[in-house]
Chains A and B, each alone.
Chain A
Amino acid sequence: MTKLPENLELDRYGLHVRLVREEDAEFIVKLRNDPQKARYISVTSKSVDDQIRWIKSYKERECEGKDYYFIYSYQGQLAGVNRIYEIEDNHFIHGSWVFGDNIPPYCALAAGIIALELAYDTLGLDVEIDTAGIHKDNHGVLQYIRALGAEFTGTKIYPMGEFYTSQLSKELFYKNKNKIIRLFPKKIL
């Protein structure tokens, strides 16, 4: 199984990407507890110590090649996070995708493309099978995966509401990713 290096550092589409570290705990707690951002994600403890425990568990799964939590910076400032997880055989889930509003809007879109490129290109995975789902009111993410041509596979009901599950093959990602990249500023392409 191919794994990402622990010291992954990547500059792509105007963003800097690396894997999560314990010192990111405070940033993650703040980001995930922003009332606007928290609407469509699981409840996050406001305790930095709790988040450090979460990060330690991510790092254990990272060593096993099952989970990669990415931290993105834009112009030197922490900008947002996303994750590819439940990596097994040829499939994975892309999620935990939260970006602040203090950056150009394309950054969140670019982070999605970077995570999927790492999954499909670098790790050689074939399909994202999102069994966790996307909240039915999370229009931005639904727009995103529709643009990539994802197939909706069902619905799940959680206390937070109705979520749509989906599937996105490597083939469809490469066929459609330029529909997202066209939304990036010309200067970074």
Chain B
Amino acid sequence: MTTTEQAIRVATPPATLTPPNRKHQLSARVRTTAVLSYLVLILLALIYIYPFLISIAGSFKTDSDATQDPLSLIPATWTSAAYERLFTSVPLLQWTANSAFITVIVTIGRVFFDSLAGYALSRLRFRGRTIIFAGVVAVMAVPGVVLLIPRFLMLKELGLYDSFGGMILPLVIDAAGIFIMKQFFESIPVSVEEAARIDGAGVFRTFWTVVLPMARPAIITLFILSFQGSWNEFSHFVISRQDPALNTLTTGVASLTSGELGTGNQYPLQLAAAVLMSIPVVVIFFIFQKRLMNTTDGGEKG
């Protein structure tokens, strides 16, 4: 190789001119794999997101447009007829109110009672603690679907069937939440509490003013999970009520989807309902996105 050649090589960007040497081939290969993997990822992301986009688009289409041209993202004629029908001929507002009421109570209940129990199981010494904790773990292993019939039987027996009580109480505490809180409290140093206690604060006071504020990350996690869980809950509301006035968004929209309210396809109506019912969880998702995406390791790091 002559010096002039070398000079040229230095002067020109290697990607355009140089004859392929081994190193260059490698980087080209790396680049093609990179491009390929981007393409694969983008395609996958499209598959994951596109259904939601056409659902939103579909909710603004006319019935026939939604049936004939399901793929397009832009309705042939924009119409909010589906939404108008949802608010006039379907008791959507009542469903939403029921869902909101249940979600608020269940979420508050879970956050409060789960942390209370989790704290006791991690920090307070009392006889039977180990057995109770073992019980909590055992309860977590029971598959939810298996509980449908048992829960119905119990609600009937207690006279709670077809009431908010029956819809809410069984959900108000979950063993998994207790477990999460217990694990988290165990990662908080004891010394802080001891200081508070030496200052004369009682057990509940210590818990409420000192420990709970420190458990904020875990409480946020529990809040997100409880909110999502109770807002999206379906099967429990199928077996705990039949009164249409107690329909939540999930059971109400389910009755739309499974065609209990009239015949013919009403895709825009169904899609509009699906879109509306997803808004709260999506909003929560985007608010706490950072946390959610790191939830799994955040739990450990604290």
* A and B: interacting chains: no
Q: Give the interface of B toward A (CB within 8 A).
A: none
Q: Give the interface of A toward B (CB within 8 A).
A: none
